[in-house]
Amino acid sequence: MDRLKNYQNQLKGLNPQEILTWAVGTFGDKVALASSFGVEDQLLTHFASKIPNFRIFTLDTGRLFQETYDSMQRSMASYNITYEIYAPDNKELEEMIATKGPNLFYDSLENRKLCCKIRKINPLQRVLSGLDAWVTGLRAGQSATRAEVEPIEWDETNQIYKVNPLFACSEEELWKKVKEEKVVYNRLHDQGFPSIGCAPCTRAVAEGEDIRSGRWWWEAPEHKECGLHNRPVK
């Protein structure tokens, strides 16, 4: 895709804040940052708050940690921003819980993917249907499924561009910047949670463990995606 290659060339050598500025200059109000209130998204929110009218959305699955909601509240106050909130469809959610129970995700991979679809994928598709590009906190060092992350990619599933300003940022570099910039971050990170998702499907990890090992810990590593960022393992 010639346009994608052109965009990738334009982003060479730019830092994360410059990439965000480029994204707004290129896509206008048709680009938005997706935040799940992990440290990557919080750093990007910190930068985005300095850009007028930068859109930020979040998926409220209904099963998030209280600390995650606290992060949202503190971010709204500290950065003087509002979030676009997308929640699951009531009828889909009610039917799923009534037929399979509230903790269906522990029973099978199929059930877990169904839960992710209703609580995350379907709401995401609603917001992305009105965008030309979305911004994520994906980093190449996060997991095997993300090793080939580029600064901008074509999201085949959603048929829009995906911008990843932190694609080359290491864990050490990330936290160094967070401390320097005094970024508001989720307090779960201080409790051993390097990756944060829904409360029933996320746990703290031991020092030295893979940073995604606390997500869906009962599943094989190649399955540790909810479907928001499906990528082939190379």
Residues recognised as catalytic:
226
- Rounded CA-CA distance 135/51 in Å is 14
Q: Which residues pair with 215 in a beta bridge?
A: 202
CA distances from 148 to 29, 54, 153, 208, 225 (A): 28, 27, 10, 22, 15
Residue-wise DSSP of 92-117: HHHHHHHHH-TTGGGT-HHHHHHHHI
Residue type at 61 in one-letter notation: T
Quick count: other Cβ atoms within 10 Å of Cβ 82? Answer: 9
Residue carrying the six token digits 């938005």: 32
DSSP structural state of residue 35: -
Closest residue by Cα to residue 167 from 68, 5, 6, 20: 20
Tokens of 91: 């009828």
**Residues 231 and 140 sit within 8 Å (Cβ to Cβ):** no
Kindly list the distances between the CA atom of residue 21 and the CA atoms of 44, 134, 176, 177, 186, in Å, as whole numbers in the listed order. Answer: 11, 13, 22, 18, 24
